[in-house]
Structures are given as structure tokens and as C-alpha cells.
Structure 1
Amino acid sequence: MMSRAVVFAYHNVGVRCLLALLARGVDVPLVVTHQDSPNEDIWFGSVAATAAAHGLKVITPDEANAAEVLAQVQAAEPDFLFSFYYRQMLGAPLLQAAPRGAFNMHGSLLPRYRGRVPVNWAIIHGETETGATLHTMEIKPDAGAIVDQMAVPILPDDTAQQVFDKVTVAAETVLWRSLPGLLDGSAVPQPQDLAKGSYFGGRKPEDGRIDSQWPAQRVHDFVRALTHPYPGAFADLPRGRLRLWQTRRESHGGSSPAPSRTELRLEEGRMLLACPDGAHLQVLAATLADEPLTADNFRVRLGASAVTLGA
């Protein structure tokens, strides 16, 4: 007998995991997703369009836990409920609407990096790997028992989008190989040891400010975690807001001594960040007041050959 699943989903992980369910022969009578925000850079795939292309019923409620949404989920008579990068917490009535369980796909190696934007947080903290985890859903976020997980590497210069692309493949793989056991009842989720990880909250654009006391490696990780399509790492200078979009560790550094606070310098035709730990980053892409800042226009735009990033 075909299993039925209601799917709450958004983003690329939502698209790929919905397709994996359909490819495994799961009947999806209802897909719940978000309306795209006009204030957000929509660089990812559309769950709504994917579901519509497969003839599935789609709703986009403002509040997932509203009574009318619960009624539609219950009317769908699902065996399972899945959440794939859906952005709202699902309350107990929704989780209890699927007698064979509710499952979430999370973009980290749980119990590490529970909570919001786990890929960005992992890069900010200099991690060398992350992954995707399928787990049972509880009222407490990302705390349920683990069905399966898969690790992916974070290379030294990987951006958040590059890592997210890997996590998307990991999520699809984890779901694909987990579904047979979930559907036939043989899967045995393993409880998490929450003491081995931490919870992280969401990030806002204003959280992208660079601390001028940070060592070079931390600045580099911060830049690549927040670069396009995210709002970017920034510092406010007398002539406008500096945003750093791409940096690279320098093996030999610059010719000047280490500053007490991070400086942006023009040296030998290159833009360099000289950090208090004595290490240097080459700045490969930056903007000042939303216009490109380059080695060629550095002195004209900044009025100096070096400027301190701030307090």
C-alpha cells in the first residue's frame, strides 16, 4: 500500500527532498511552503513551482500552526509528515497528525549546530565539515532522534552557497537511503546527546560587522560565510560602508608591521587586510558605499593608502 506524506518545505533542500519522496513512490496529497518575500534575494529553487509541476496541492499560509492548516493536514490523512527547510516551527497538533512519525531534515551534523542558518554558523566557526541530518521532530528544535546523517567537507575557501550546495546533495542522499526503512518500519532512530552540540539563532544583516581585533583567519571565515547571496561582512569607514566579498589568505603577508587594529592597505598594487595577529588577507572583491573598490581606485575613493577598519 502506498504511503502518504504531507510535506512542509522551502529552498533547494525542500525541492530535492520533495523530488526524492516522489521518486520513492510516496503519495504527497499536500505541500505547505512559503510565499517568496519581495525583500529577499531568491537565489534558490521553488518548492511551489516544483509541486505544481507534479500536480500536487500547494498552500502558502502565513502561519503553519493555524487551525485551518491543521485541518487540511488532517484531512490529507498522512502516514508521515516531513519538514525540509521549512522556516517555521511545527506545533504538537501538526506533529501528531501523522501516525507514523514527523521527520525534519537539518543542515548540520546534529547534535552540532542545532537551530538557524547552520551552514553559515559552521563556516563562521572555521569548521572543516558539516552535513545533513534526518531526525524525528519534537517540540524542541532539532532535538529528535537521528535517522541518518551524511558529512560533507568545507574547503578553506568555500563560501556558504558552495557548502549549501553540498549539503543539499547530502540531504537528498540521506532521505533517499532512509526512505525504504521508514516506509517498511525497520528504521531505528538513535537519540541525540544534546550535550555534544549547541543551539544557534538566526542572523540579521547587521550581524555582519567585522571586529577589528579579529585574527586574519576569523575574518576570512566571516567573509566567506556572509558573501553573496548573503548581505556581506562589513565595516564602516569615513567614506562609506566597506563590504568584503572575497578574501584569500596570504602566505607571505605584506611589508608593513602588524597593526593594533585591522587595516585595509594598498601594497604593491594589491588590496590587503593587515590583521593584529600579523597575518594578511588579500582582498579580491569589495565594495565601498555599494560601488566597486579596487586597487586602481583605492587612493581616490579612500583618500589614503591605508585605513583602519574601526573599533
Structure 2
Amino acid sequence: MTRAVVFAYHDVGVRCLSVLLDAGIEIALVVTHEDAQGELIWFDSVAELAARYDIPVITPDDPNVPEIVAQIAALAPDFIFSFYYKLMIKAPLLAIPARGALNMHGSLLPEYRGRVPVNWAIIHGETQTGATLHYMTEKPDAGAIVEQTAVPILTDDTAGDVFRKVTCAAEITLHRALPSLVAGTAVAKPQDLSKGGYFGGRRPEHGKIDWSQSANAIHNLIRAVAPPYPGAYTTLLDKPLRVLRSRVIDQASNNDANSVFFCDNHGCYVHCSGGGTLQLLALEWDGKAVSSAEYLATFGNKALQIN
């Protein structure tokens, strides 16, 4: 029987671990994370799935310490798999499995190597992304590709929408690749690292809207950080305004030197000084959800500069 040690977290971790279990892979150990205190947990639990199958689970702060390396080496796994695991898996661990260590990455490598690839792909206006199963090397997301599956990014898809597609793509990719991996017949294609690039993590403050950009660029930011992520934000009448959903009404040039916010009976809009008009479909003003009707009742239809 093929034996694996699995490093996994989040929905991708749950679905890919499920594929291994369905295929009869012996899971000797699952390495996962404790949920961060105060974090919005909107995804499934790898630890709970492992518990249903009586699989041992550990949650080390650093999986690369000598005692964890020794524990995993003693299990003599054929494979190590990493599915949305947050921490780097370093050379001593990568050297353990007899048949290789593989990672599932949430993009079409070599594009969008590094952190939060789904969010970055949306910010850059990509029309597709996907999931890639590749061998791990000391350099992250740089190993040879075994299999990948593409999914579309639609014009108004949020990061949550796309992440659900990528989770499905990850499951399909692993399910398709696993038989050849187990049989020892999988063919891996080296990446052309001159293409694509590395991207870093994102923090809530990166969701601040720059209204001097075009309506398209602002729309891409809004949907890339929409809930369950922290959301895009700005200020209006000296109070915080979160923009949770939008759509581009037009991309025409705008003669206004400043971006202008206004509401009417159909909704709330911004003429963007970088060109084009956005409809703002979901808003939170000063911490409370606000509709166009509520805004009109309070402030009327006067246009306001927004920055």
C-alpha cells in the first residue's frame, strides 16, 4: 500500500485529502494548523476530516524542527503532499519521501507563484486561473509540474467565487494525477521560471481604494478582497466606507479631476477620475450596511467627492 504524510489546511486540504482517502492511500500522519484566534473560519477543517478516519494529527509551529523531521522520517512515507499548508517545508523534510514531495498550488504555474495567487490573479484582471500539482523544491512553487487544471474567472467573480472553483480544480487535478503517481509512470514537466513571477502576501490595509485608477482596476481590487476577505475600503464624509461588491457600468473617459460618489433610485455609483463608472452594489458606511434608498433619505442626491 502507498503511504503518505499530508500537510494540509483549508478547503483545498480537505478536498485533496479526501481524494487520497478515496484512492486507498495510507495516511500515516496529517500536519495542519490550529485556527488563528479571532479569524473568520469560513472553510472546512482538515483536522476534523482526519479525526473521522482516526488519522494522527499534529499542529507544530514549525514542522522543520529536528524532532518533527525525525517523526516523519520514521514513518517512511512514499510521498509527502502539501495542500494549502501555510508554512515552508524545507529540504530535510523534502528529502524523506521515497517517491517525492508534491504541492498543490492555486494558479496555473509558472504564473502567480507565491502567496494568495487567487487574489493576485483577480487584481491583475486575469480571465483564468487554476490549480497545479508540482514537485516541491527548496525554492517555493518552482518544481516540475505533474498536472494542472484551468478554471475561468468571470468579470464579476469575487475571490470567494474563484477560490471555490480552484478548490474543485485541485480535487480534479489530484484525482487525475494520482493513479500515475502511484504506478510510478507520472511525467513531470520542468517549469519555465522566466515566465510568471512571485507575489507576496496581502494584508487588510492593501484593500484601500485608489480612486485615481480606472473603474476596471478598482472593480478588480474590490472583488479580489471581497468577503470572506477583509474588503476594499475608502472614506466618505470623513467616515469609513467598505465597498463589498461592484460592477463596471462603463469604461468611458471621465472629465472629472476628482472621483465623484452619488446615489439615485437605482443604486450608488462612482465616476472614477481614472476613467469609467462603477456601481457599488454592497456598502458598509461607518460599520453599518447602507442601501441607496437609506443614503438618499439621509443625504439626498448630491454628488460628493470621494478619495
Q: TM-score, normalised by structure 2?
A: 0.95
Contact 2:14 2:46 in 1 (8 A): yes
2:291 equivalent among 291, 294, 299: 294
Which residue pairs with 1:280 in the alignment?
Answer: 277
Local SS of the residue matching 2:244: strand
Contact 2:127 2:152 in 1 (8 A): yes
Which residue pairs with 1:48 in the alignment?
Answer: 47
The 1:159/1:14 distance shift into structure 2, 3 A limit, reads same
Which residue pairs with 2:102 in the alignment?
Answer: 103
Q: Does 1:271 align with 2:268?
A: yes
Alignment of 1:162-311 (within 5 A): 162-251=161-250, 258-299=255-296, 305-310=302-307
Which residue pairs with 2:114 in the alignment?
Answer: 115
Contact 2:213 2:275 in 1 (8 A): no
The 1:204/1:25 distance shift into structure 2, 3 A limit, reads same
Contact 2:130 2:149 in 1 (8 A): yes
Quote the sequence identity (%). 53
The 1:278/1:207 distance shift into structure 2, 3 A limit, reads closer
- Cα distance in structure 2, aligned partners of 1:189 and 1:94: 21
Which residue pairs with 2:138 in the alignment?
Answer: 139
- Cα distance in structure 1, aligned partners of 2:106 and 2:251: 36
- Deviation, 1:268, is 4.6
- Deviation, 1:77, is 1.2
> Greater CA deviation, 101-110 or 56-65?
56-65
- Cα distance in structure 2, aligned partners of 1:246 and 1:29: 43
- Deviation, 1:114, is 0.3
5+ residue gaps, structure 1: none
Local SS of the residue matching 1:196: coil
- Cα distance in structure 2, aligned partners of 1:306 and 1:99: 66
- Deviation, 1:277, is 4.1
Q: Could you give the per-residue CA deviations for residues 37-63 of structure 1, whole angstroms, max 9, x where no partner exists?
A: 122111001000001111100011111
- Deviation, 1:263, is 2.2
- Deviation, 1:248, is 1.5
Q: Could you give the per-residue CA deviations for residues 138-183 of structure 1, whole angstroms, max 9, x where no partner exists?
A: 1111000000101000011111111111101110111011111111
Which residue pairs with 1:74 in the alignment?
Answer: 73
Local SS of the residue matching 1:14: helix
The 1:173/1:258 distance shift into structure 2, 3 A limit, reads same
| One-letter amino acid of the structure 1 residue matched with residue 26 of structure 2 | D
Which residue pairs with 1:159 in the alignment?
Answer: 158
5+ residue gaps, structure 2: none
- Cα distance in structure 1, aligned partners of 2:86 and 2:111: 19
Contact 2:11 2:44 in 1 (8 A): yes
Contact 1:258 1:275 in 2 (8 A): no
The 1:305/1:67 distance shift into structure 2, 3 A limit, reads farther
Contact 1:258 1:274 in 2 (8 A): no
> Greater CA deviation, 237-246 or 180-189?
237-246
Contact 1:109 1:133 in 2 (8 A): yes
Q: Give the superposed CA RMSD.
A: 1.8
| One-letter amino acid of the structure 2 residue matched with residue 170 of structure 1 | A
| One-letter amino acid of the structure 1 residue matched with residue 287 of structure 2 | D
Alignment of 1:2-81 (within 5 A): 2-81=1-80
- Cα distance in structure 1, aligned partners of 2:296 and 2:64: 55
Contact 2:264 2:301 in 1 (8 A): no
| One-letter amino acid of the structure 1 residue matched with residue 142 of structure 2 | A
Contact 1:133 1:146 in 2 (8 A): yes
Count of residue pairs brought into register by the alignment:
307
